[in-house]
Each structure stands twice: as structure tokens, then as C-alpha cells.
A and B are shown apart, each in its own frame.
Chain A
Amino acid sequence: MYQILKKRRLSENVVLMEIDAPYVAKKAEPGQFIILRVDEEGERIPLTIAEYDREKGSITIIFQEIGATTMQLGLLEEGDCLHDFAGPLGRASELEGLKHVAVVGGGLGCAIAYPQAKKLHEMGAEVDLIAGFRNKDIIILEDEMRAASTNLYICTDDGSNGNKALVTDILKQQIESGKKYDAVIAIGPMIMMKFVSLTTKPYGIKTIVSMNSIMVDGTGMCGGCRLTVDGETKFACVDGPDFDGHLVDFDEAMRRSRIYKPQEQSAIEAHREHCNLLKMEVK
């Protein structure tokens, strides 16, 4: 069993949890992920490792309550335990040798981009962190991101933080203004990663994306997370999750990620109904 050591709500439906998982913490690196199950009957879901503490033996995850399992996870409190927590999985990001980098995060992707930015910053690279959110109420980890970057640009879709822009607009401005990036690292919804890749392609800037495909085992035994990269079939869980954004077939990946939409929707409804029943019992 894997105990929840700390829980912090970063916004209305984004939660940070620090989990006691010494084996995972021993080897974890930025870019890797874990698979967890909340309880004995639960489904396996992949979540990125947001931070690790080797001495304490803990792993931090950040998730959005977006479906039945993440909602159930969000109900747990400090001291509660997760049934399963496997990792670290996937390949670590290759950050060696990068000197000037733009790290682009979209929404919850900022939490995933944060460890990469932090590590690069610690390695002495100049890091422009471009973080995009729908509105100012869901801006997360602002202080952490500021500490992990040379320059931080936060923008919102609706301009509620005073900077109405898309991450791609800001990225383009920076490139046009003469910034020379060795690489751009983009993490967030697939649609955002696709457009970041399209933005950098004409400039020939190496662009690394972190693919969040549907996964079951996360160890390369099922191929549920397969995607096409440069015309070849790759498994996001073992060959990735990082890939060259200029070579990924994003349209296929986005359509594959929607296969269980109807079931996910009914699971959310069932979860809400269950929670309402619980509330009634409490009364």
C-alpha cells in the first residue's frame, strides 16, 4: 500500500499529492510516469511524476479531476492509501546538453512541464517557461514555475490575468524577437502540442512532446498506447512518452484518445450519483 503523505488543492479541480513510494523515488527522472490504482477494483491510470524526493522516498503527482477515477482519487485525504503505484515508467527526458530552452505547458501540462524546467534550470540552462491556462483561477504552481525558470510567461485564453494569448503566440514572439532555442519542450493537451510543433517546424527548432496516450499496463505489453511516429508504430509507454513533435501523427493520436468517451461519460455520471447517495446517507 502506498500512503498519501501530503495533499494540496492547487485549483478547484487540480490536486497535488505526495505519495510514499520509496522504490519509485529511488530511480525517478523528469519525463517518467507512474501507473496507479486507487483501490482493489480500480482501473490503472498513468500520471506523470511531478516531483521526487529520493531521501524521503516520495513521489509527487498532480492530477485534474476529470473522470471517475481521478474524482475518486481526489476524495482521498492525507493518511489514506493507494492500492497500487508502479514505476518509474517510460524513458526519462533527454535534457543533457541543452543550453537555451523554451518549456511550454498547457493547463495541467504545466505541472508535468515543471520538473523538466526545474531540472534544466538546475543544470544551468536558460529556461523560458511559457504557461497557458484557460483563466486566472486555474493558474497553478506559479511560484514554483517562477523559481524554475529564467523567464516566465503566463497567458490565459480569456485574458483574465492581463495577458490574453495562446502559448503559441508567445513562443512565436520569442522566436521572432531573436531568441535561439536549442529545443522546445511542449507538454499539455495533444491539440496544444500539435500547434506548438507546427509553430516551431518552419524555424527548424527541435521540439519534444510528451504523449499522453490511453494506457493499460504501461510496460509495453498491450500496445493500447501505440502511435505513429515518422510512419512507424511506437508505444508511448516504453518508447516514450517523449517524441519528436515534428514526426508525431497528432491527428491519429487525438482520435485514438477519444475511443472510450461514451463510457467515460457514463462512469462520471455513475460516480456523481454514488457521491450524492453517500451525501444523503451522511445526512
Chain B
Amino acid sequence: MANMSPVKNPIPEQDPNVRNKNFLEVSLGYDETTAVDEAQRCLNCKNRPCVSGCPVNVQIPDFISLIAEGKFLEANAKIKETSSLPAVCGRVCPQESQCESKCVRGIKGEPVAIGRLERFAADYAMAHPTDDAVEVPAPNGHKVAVVGAGPAGLTCAGDLAAKGYDVTVFEVLHTAGGVLMYGIPEFRLPKAIVQKEIDTLKAKGVKFVLNFVVGRTETIDDLFADGFEAIFVGSGAGLPNFMRVPGEGYNGVYSANEYLTRVNLMKAYKEESPTPIYHAKKVAVFGGGNVAMDAARCAKRMGAEDVYIVYRRSEAELPARAEEVHHAKEEGIIFKLLAAPLEVLGDDDFHVKGVRCQNMELGEPDASGRRRPVPIEGSEFILDVDAVIVAIGTSPNPLIRTTTPGLDTNRKGCIVADEVGATSKEGVFAGGDTVTGAATVILAMGAGKKAAAAMDEYIQNKNK
């Protein structure tokens, strides 16, 4: 008998006033009883609308039924059939606009907590490792390369390894994981979990070459010369955009990428970390996406008293995941909506002392369909802050496009690829943020998955 409760089982969380001072995970996850109870809310519908909402098509009702039966390891195995990183996706996917938005239970009440259940199954499997040796498929004799060890590259590598390819992942940083390691903070996605997912790929035979800068250390053409038959480019969109207002050169102005890299990847939040960071008292974060929320919540945890999110549209347009906005508010982040920066102000020491802003109102919809913010005359005000974090988006890094002849990019610098990831250059496939511009982890994974299938087909056809 299905559990007909109209609401999701709540997930235990650290108290907001405790957690805004530490970097431990905010959300503590379901226990076995709660997970089984929540799983019983799934009606196991015939037409499975939830699956169509998942970019990697996890067989949702199947794994949820297994949880309902108490077969937690089997549930995880079911998810892993289509998703390489369930512990990650259960935590960072915007389920409200994907799988859960399609759930039938969401019509009258809350949808089934698919993300929380996925996370439960993955965490349970990590906590209960089995002795079964990882199944390494028979090698098929073909070598492929993956450029970038972010979500797109990891997924693509995992899928290709499962087909027997000899896969090498080239990563520019000293740690694989991409944004999962340097961007998304520990309190939202513990790094040990990401590392375990990566270790699983290694156990499947995927090779990782770190500190390797494709475009400098070797080019795409060099990799072909090295014997790779097909190459997937999943190098992301890591080039930060600045606001182009006066004063951005002052000390205390960070791109969100720099701030988050120092905090997350270099662990500047730990006192013993040799990587320094400026400990601000009052911080203005510009932007309204997940990156802005992450930067603001990190700044709070680094000891800032007042942290502002300054966003030029209204709350309804905030692109961040609903749960992160909710968490940020609970933790005391102050939202200054409908406001935009005009100038960063500095003191005699060349350090930020404030930001001159102005209020906005929403006008007609722009090309993207969102209502365009229009400045309100005479509404200028000064935010008294000693640090500014710019989180208004990123673009693809030019290193690969400028060193790969024959690879078409669009005017935003994104690699042009078709729906399965094929680019203008034979044997080169691409996916994730480097094609779409900054988007979500799960979309990058979906792209990595499609490209893996297309690369397999390409190599099989070529060798016929």
C-alpha cells in the first residue's frame, strides 16, 4: 500500500546558526526508515514521467521500488546503470525543474523526493562496500581521450570504459572533479564523496593525467598523433566574467571562481592551509545563480558578519536552485534584489570600502524571455562592504579553441556541437558547459553520456 502523505519526508539538517560557522554538510540525508517510507510514496506509474525529466534517464521507479523493498545496494546498482555520479546528482541537481517537476504526486502535494532517495542509495552503498571486485570490461583495443575531469568528462569516461575503451582523462588542475572540487563547497558536496566516485572510475580502468593543460602541454592534434582515436572535450566554462564597472582592480574584488577555488580546492577555510584568503567583514556578492549562493554562504562561514546577494532582477528570476536560496536565507544572507553595481569604491590603501549601486525595475522581456532590468533614476545607494565577489557568469576558456584548427566555435566562444556532441572537427566531440556556456552538473553529465555513445558509434563505423 502506497504511502499517501501529501508531503515529502523532511531531511534532517544542521541548525542554520550552527552550520553558517562550519563547512560540514548542511543536509544530513535520510536514514533507512525514512528512505523506505519516502520510497513508498512512489506510485510506480506506467508512463514514468519522472524518467523523461532526468537528463541521463535514471530508471527512477525501479530504483525507488528497490529502496521500498529494503534492497538498498540493488537500488544503487540500478541508478549506476545510467548515472556515473549518483551521490553527486542526488545532492546538486535542481530536481524541482527536472525529475521531480514531472512527478505525478506533485500534482496534488509534493513530488516524491527522488533526489534525496538517489543520494540515500548512493551514500548507503558507499558506507557498505561489498567485496565484489569491480567489473572491468574486456578491452576493445581502442584508445580515447577525455579533456577535462568535470562532470561531463567523468560521465563520458565512465561510459566509454564500460564499453571496453582504453580511456585517459587529461585534467589541468591537480585534482580531478572540475567544478565538483573547486566550485561547489564542501557543505553542499563533501569532497570525499566526489573522490570516491572518481576512485570508482579508476578501478574501472580509467586513467587520469593531472596537471596537463590541453592547448599548452599538448594540443588536440598532438593527442591524435599520440594514438587517441576520438577525443571528448569537456573543458567547461571556467573563464570568469567581470562587471566592467570602475574599481574592479581594487584589492578585495574577487571573481567567484577565485574565491571558491581558494576556499574549496585550496582549502583556505582551514586555518593551516598555506593558501591565503582575505577575511572580509562585509561582503557583496553580485549575481543570483548557484555560484553566487555558494560564494555568499562561504563568505559567511569565513567569518563575515554581513553578506549581501545583489541581483538585478527579482526573486522570481533567481536562477539558483530553490533549496540553495532557502538555505542561504536561513543562514542570514541578506538579499538586495532589483539592484545593480555602478562602481566599486576603494580606500587610500587601494582596498574595497564599498559599492555604489542603483535600484532597478523590471521592464519588457528581453531576447531570453526574461523581463529586462531597467535602472530607476535617482535611486543610487552605497553598500558599505570590504570585499566584492563577482558571480555574474563564466565563459569557455579560449585555450582549446585557439589551438585547435578546424574546431568551430560561436561568438560566445562556445564549441559548436550537434545533439550527440559531434563537432566540426572529425573525431572531436564536445559537451557540457564548453558547448552550452555555464549550465548545470546534470546537463553536463547528460552531454557526456550522449557523446560517449556517439564516440563509440564513430569508432565502430570507422573500423568496419
Interface residues of A (CB under 8 A from B): 23-24, 26-27, 32, 37, 41-44, 68-69, 83-89, 216-217, 219-224, 226-228, 233, 238, 249, 252, 255-256, 258-260, 263-264, 267
Contact = CB atoms under 8 A, between A and B. Distances in A.
B137 interface: no
9 contacts: A24-B217, A37-B174, A43-B275, A85-B211, A87-B216, A89-B213, A217-B173, A219-B399, A260-B276
B240 A221 contact: yes
Q: Which 6 A-B residue pairings sit nearest by Cβ, starting from the closest?
A: A222-B258, A86-B211, A221-B238, A263-B276, A84-B174, A255-B350
B216 A221 contact: no
A23 B218 CA distance: 8
Given A83-B174, A85-B211, A217 B397 contact: no
Contact of A41 (B240, B248, B274, B397): B274
Interface stretch (B46-54, B249-257, B315-323): B249-257
A180 B436 CA distance: 51
Given A69-B274, A263-B276, 10 more contacts: A26-B218, A43-B274, A88-B217, A217-B173, A220-B398, A223-B240, A228-B249, A252-B350, A256-B249, A256-B350
A84 B261 contact: no
Contacts of B304: none
Nearest to B254: A224
A260 B276 CA distance: 7
Interface centre among A32, A219, A238 (most CB of B within 10 A): A219
Nearest to A249: B249
Nearest to B217: A23
A37 B275 CA distance: 11
Contacts of A224: 254-255, 258
A253 B231 CA distance: 39
Interface in B236-288: 238-240, 242, 248-249, 251-252, 254-255, 257-258, 261-262, 266-267, 272-276, 278
B266 A216 contact: yes
Nearest to A263: B276
B213 A259 contact: no
A84 B211 contact: yes
Looking at chain B's contact residues, the main secondary structure is loop
A86 B240 CA distance: 21
Interface string B171-183: 0111000000000
Contact of B258 (A26, A85, A223): A223
Interface string B415-436: 0000000000000000000000
Contacts, number: 114
Contacts of B276: 43, 260, 263-264, 267
A249 B267 CA distance: 31
B243 to A, nearest CB: 11
Contact of A220 (B212, B218, B239, B242): B239
Nearest to A88: B216
Interface string B389-405: 00000000111000000
Contact of B262 (A216, A220, A252): A216
Contacts of B342: none
B437 to A, nearest CB: 15
B383 interface: no
A41 B249 CA distance: 29
A249 B257 CA distance: 24
B214 to A, nearest CB: 10
Interface string B317-341: 0000000000000000000000000
B273 A86 contact: no
B255 A219 contact: no
A89 B216 contact: yes
Nearest to A252: B249
